[in-house]
Amino acid sequence: MQVVASLSLKGGVGKTTVALGLAGAAQQHGLRTLVVDLDPQANATIALDVGPTSATVADVLDEPRLSVLRAAIAPSAWGEGLDVMVGAEQAERHNHPEPGPAQVGRLRRALQRLDRLDADSVDGLDDEAPDPYRLVVVDCPPSLGQLTRSALAAADRAVLVTDPTMFAVSGVQRAFDAVQTERQRSNPDLQPLGVLINRVRPRNAEHDFRIAELRELFGPLVLPGVLPDRSAIQQAQGACMPIQRWDTPGAREASTVFTLLLGRVLRSERPRRTPRVATAPPAPN
Exposed e or buried b per residue across 151-166, where buried means at least 16 C-beta atoms within 10 angstroms of its C-beta: bbbbbbbbbbbbbbee
CB of 61 to ligand ADP, least distance (A): 19
Shortest separation between residue 221's beta carbon and ligand ADP, angstroms:
19
Based on CB atoms, which residue is closest to Mg ion, 35 or 266? Answer: 35
Q: Which does 237 bind (CB under 5 to 8 A by kind): Mg ion, ligand ADP, none?
A: ligand ADP
- Which residue number, 43 or 95, has a Cβ lying nearer to Mg ion? 43
Closer CB to ligand ADP, residue 1 or residue 236?
236
Residue 16 sits in the site that holds Mg ion (CB under 5 A):
yes
Give 32 or 199: the residue with its C-beta nearer to Mg ion: 199
Note the residues at the interface with ligand ADP (CB under 6 A): 8, 11-17, 43, 198-199, 227, 229-230, 233-234, 237
Q: How far is the CB of 172 from ligand ADP (least distance, A)?
A: 13
C-alpha distances in angstroms, 274 versus 32, 60, 183? 18, 26, 23
> Is-contact 137 87, C-beta < 8 A?
no
Give the chain's end-to-end CA distance (angstroms, integer): 23
- Contacted entry of ligand ADP, Mg ion, none for residue 11, CB cut-off 5 to 8 Å set by kind: ligand ADP
Q: How far is the CB of 190 from Mg ion (least distance, A)?
A: 20
172 contact choice in Mg ion, ligand ADP, none (CB below 5 to 8 Å, kind-dependent): none
Neighbours of 2 (CB within 10 A): 20
Residues contacting 27, CB < 8 A, separation 6+:
33, 78, 79, 80, 81, 82, 242, 244
Total of residues contacting Mg ion (CB under 5 A): 4
Task: Kindly state the smallest distance separating residue 202's Cβ from ligand ADP, in Å.
Answer: 12
Q: Which residues contact 198 (CB under 8 A, 6 or more apart)?
A: 13, 14, 17, 18, 161, 162, 163, 226, 227
Residue 230 interaction partner, one of ligand ADP, Mg ion, none, beta carbon < 5-8 Å per kind: ligand ADP
Interface with Mg ion includes 15 (CB under 5 A)? yes
Q: In angstroms, give the least distance from the CB of 198 to Mg ion.
A: 12
Nearest in space to 137 (alpha carbons), one of 15, 253, 268, 271: 15
**What is the contact surface with Mg ion in residues (CB under 5 A)?**
15-16, 39, 43
